Structure 1
Amino acid sequence: MKQIIQYTLTATFALLVIACGEGAKEKKGSLGDKKAQLEKLKKEMAVTATEIKKLEEEIARLDTAAALLNKAKLIAAAPVTIQDFSHYIDIQGTVTAEDISYIAPANGMGGVVTAIYIKEGQYVKKGQLILKMDDKVLRTQLQQLQVQLDFAKNIYNRQKNLWEQNIGSEVQLITAKNNVEALEKQLVTLNEQIRLYTVTSSVNGIADVVDVKVGEMFTGAGARGPQIQIVNNSTLKVKANIPENYMSRVHVGSQVEISLPDAGKTYSSKINLASQLIDPNSRTFAIEASIPGGTVRPNTIAALRIKDYSAPAAVVIPVNLVQTDENGKYVYTVEKDSKNRNVVKKIPVQVGESYNNMIEIKAGLQAGMQLVTAGYQSVYDKQVVQIDGQTTAAN
């Protein structure tokens, strides 16, 4: 509006000059006529200036925000705060039981199943009979051996009676006794071999797999996997494979949060096993962490969050506020200039770890600084800005 007033005044004086100049050139009119014309123009100029001022005041009353925004960029800002920051490795794992017993025949060879005493899904106690295999040949040998033993005992008893009557030799008595003892040992051995044709459970648990029937050959493992599998889920663990680039950051004792989405359960645990061997195919190493047993079933999918980095009292901001140019990373803050105006300042920063859309700032920012949180992509260093609304925490 000031420019309009200046333009009007300039134009008015120009008209006066032109009018005077033309009057002089033409040598027409008296001095009184010129004075009257000048007074008229001055009055017209005063009326114009009054109207301009009135319009400026009316516009200022009706549109103060527009007048202000014409001078300052509207942004949002928030104070930088301090908080604890942690970085996690998110990875998928599987629940497995600490005690999984794959039942195998004790005789090392197996045999044809003659009886099965458990069903799939049944609870089994340690030492409980699971199945029997065909031991007819051994039992036939046992019967024959028993007959030989009975005969040897009879001979020994007769020889002993004769010896007590001073009939016969001591060698005959000792030989008869040795025959009895040898047959008894053979009988014990044969009974032990027969016992190996019965299969018992080595643990308490659930018969998770019973994949064998009467008349089939039991060897412990079939074409489809273990023939009998007993699972004890009173103690469970979660297994996962970690990429090798985290080898120096994940170790025994690392904190891990284990979530079982399908079971709706979450546990806090620590890694109790971290393999030192890298799988050459997947380039990963195995870890294990224990969780309480109970209703969770083995092979349930688990989501693991392994804490591999933490920084107490760190400067943390949204990762999208960090921008990059040829000189590196930077953010925009707001500060007061010499005229007490809000101006933008470009701050180079050194960044650390980032997680869950937040990033750690290791250098460049301090608590309390006003960080530009909206409009940061369209501002520039030293630009005058207006902060919109109330400030909220940057994080």
Structure 2
Amino acid sequence: MKKISSIKIGIVILSSVTIASCGNADKSAQQQGPPPAIPVTTYAVADQLVTTVDTYPGIVVALNEVELRAQVGGYITAIYVKDGQKVTKGQKLYEIDRTKYLAAYNSAKANAAVAKANRDKAKKDADRYTRLAEQDAVAKQRVDYALTDLANAASQVAAAEASVSSAAADLQRSIIVSPLTGTIGISQVKLGALASPGTTLLNTVSTNSPIAVDVAVNQSKIPHFAELQRMSLAVKDSIFSIQLQDGTLYKRNGKVVAIDRAVDPATGTIKVRISFPNAEGTLVAGMNVNLKVLNKAKTQQLVIPYKAVVEQLGAYNVFVVGDSSKVEQRIVKLGTQFGQDVVVSEGLKQAEVIVVDGVQNVRTGSVITTAPAAEANAQPAHPAAKK
């Protein structure tokens, strides 16, 4: 019996200790109170006119480029220019052996002279027989023969003159001249090389200024570029600029000169050509550059700092400050990012306040207080770290 009584007394004492411990824990929790406010920096959502920059990889192309090919056959007897030289329209570039073409021209002229002499004789005969026929001195048949001879002689003159023109053209084509003012490339033939008509490429000449940049843009951008092509102020407003491979900007303004006729079905893009002045020759055909296009919004748009955005499972969220300085997480739809800011197309209203610095420290329902950016970005110490 004494043993049982001792057990009962122990149970009573243990229960008393347990109740006392629970009471102390509740008092401790009550003394700690709610968690402290989290220091953050905030931003009041505002709208503004947005100017963004789109970048497209482009290739510099000559607006006018001509391949020089021999139109007559023969050996190259003279080259009048150096590789890469500046040339002017009509300047002599190459000469093909002219011996046979000069001989053909002289022969054609001689044949034309003979034909004209025969025509003149036939005309005199026709005139003489016509007068005699009027006096009934010759038969009418003889007059008809004379007029026929005159017509044949006139036809022979025409054929001879055509031969002269053809021979003169061949003689002229034996001298290749520049079809435009620009720069000639590296010669594809040497002195003494045999040039075949229509097939042998001698060289290429292209214009230097203006010059163009070709870019491929998504088909959804066609209306935008078509509008830029119609804009007379596009050049003045510096809509287009070029970034060279060394990172420097080409300080000349361009304009849209052509939009291709069709979209490439394989890529869904269309070629757009932008012309730039190039008096200094900075841009060279074939260069790879980046074309920068300014996009100036016609209406104001809501803009927030991009660092306020949190991405979770493919969705973009921000923390909006509500009543009693409590924050709630809200999904937003983003537009164009420019610099350190981004356009918000859905999910926020003007003048709403969002958390910018310190977003990593807050959760839905957190109470916040404003603080300097350095303090807001500091990670709070976890309670477990103090132990």
Q: Under a length normalisation based on structure 2, what TM-score does the superposition of the two structures give?
A: 0.66
Q: Give CA-to-partner distance per residue, 1:30-67, whole Å, 9 cap, x none.
A: xxxxxxxxxxxxxxxxxxxxxxxxxxxxxxxxxxxxx9
Q: 2:277 aligns with which of 292, 303, 322?
A: 292
| Cα pair 1:257 1:304 within 8 Å, conserved | yes
In structure 2, relative to structure 1, the CA distance for the partners of 1:114 and 1:284 (3 Å cut) is same
Equivalent residue in structure 1 for 2:241, among 230, 236, 258: 258
Q: 1:234-265, CA deviations, whole angstroms, 9 ceiling, x for partnerless residues?
A: 21111111244545654352664322324642
Instruction: Flag the structure with larger Rg.
Output: 1
The equivalent residue for 2:10 is none
| 2:169 alignment counterpart | 192
Q: Which amino acid aligns with 2:321?
A: V
Q: Secondary structure at the match of 1:187?
A: helix
Check 1:233–1:322 CA distance in 2 against 1; reply closer, same or farther (3 A cut).
same
1:81 to 46, 65, 68: 46
Partner of 1:217: 194
- Tell me whether 291-300 or 247-256 shows the greater mean CA deviation: 247-256
Alignment correspondent of 1:238? 213
Aligned partner letter, 1:130: L
1:134-155 CA distance string (max 9 Å, x none): 3433333344445545666677
Measured against aligned partners, the alpha-carbon deviations of 1:299-355 in whole angstroms (never above 9, x if no partner) come to: 333212335673632221133422356896431133552xxxx43243443433334
Distance of 2:158 and 2:312 partners within structure 1: 95
Select between 358-367 and 195-204 the one with higher mean Cα deviation: 358-367
Between the two proteins, what is the percent identity of the paired residues? 18
**8 Å contact 1:252–1:271 — kept in the other structure?**
no
CA RMSD of the aligned region, Å?
4.1
Q: How does 1:119-268 map to 2 (within 5 A)?
A: 119-148=82-111, 171=146, 174=150, 178=154, 182-218=159-195, 226-244=201-219, 246-247=221-222, 249-253=224-228, 256-261=239-244, 262=246, 264-268=249-253
Unmatched 5+ stretches in structure 2: 1-31, 133-137, 375-387
Aligned residues of 2:327 and 2:363 also touching (Cα < 8 A): yes
For 2:319, the aligned partner's letter is Y
* Residues 1:246 and 1:68: Cα distance change in structure 2 (over 3 Å): farther
Once residues 249 and 216 of structure 1 are traced to their aligned partners in structure 2, the CA distance between those partners, rounded to angstroms, is 52
> Within 1, Cα distance between the matches of 2:241 and 2:197?
34
Return the offset for 1:81. 3.1
Alignment CA distance shift 1:68-1:227 (3 Å) = farther
CA distance in 1, matches of 2:41, 2:367: 13
Separation in 1, partners of 2:261, 2:153: 61
Give the distance between the partners of 2:120 and 2:224, measured in 1 at CA. 78
Q: Mean Cα displacement is larger for which, 320-329 or 125-134?
A: 320-329
Partner of 2:68: 103
* Whole-angstrom distance in 2 between the partners of 1:349 and 1:157: 96
Residue of structure 2 aligned with 1:344, choices 327, 332, 341: 327
Secondary structure, counterpart of 1:251 in structure 2: helix
TM-score (norm 1): 0.65
Other-structure match for 2:348: 365
Q: Shift of the alpha carbon at 1:203?
A: 0.8
Instruction: Give the SS at the match of 2:102.
Output: helix
Letter in 2 for 1:240: V
Conserved? CA contact 1:257–1:306, under 8 Å: yes
Equivalent in 308, 315, 318 of residue 305 of structure 2: 318
Tell me if structure 1 keeps the 8 A contact 2:90–2:178: yes
265-274 vs 177-186, which moves further: 177-186
Instruction: Report the secondary structure of 2:299's partner residue.
Output: strand
Question: Structure 2: how far apart are the matches of 1:153 and 1:222?
Answer: 38
Gaps of 5+ in 1: 1-66
> Secondary structure in 2 aligned to 1:132?
strand
Do 1:103 and 1:220's aligned partners in 2 also have CA atoms closer than 8 Å?
no
Whether the aligned pair in 2 keeps the contact of 1:76 and 1:387 (CA below 8 Å) is yes
Greater percentage in strand: 1
State the match for 2:260 in structure 1.
Answer: 275
Q: Is the 8 A contact 1:129 1:199 kept in 2?
A: yes
1:364 Cα deviation from its structure 2 partner: 3.9
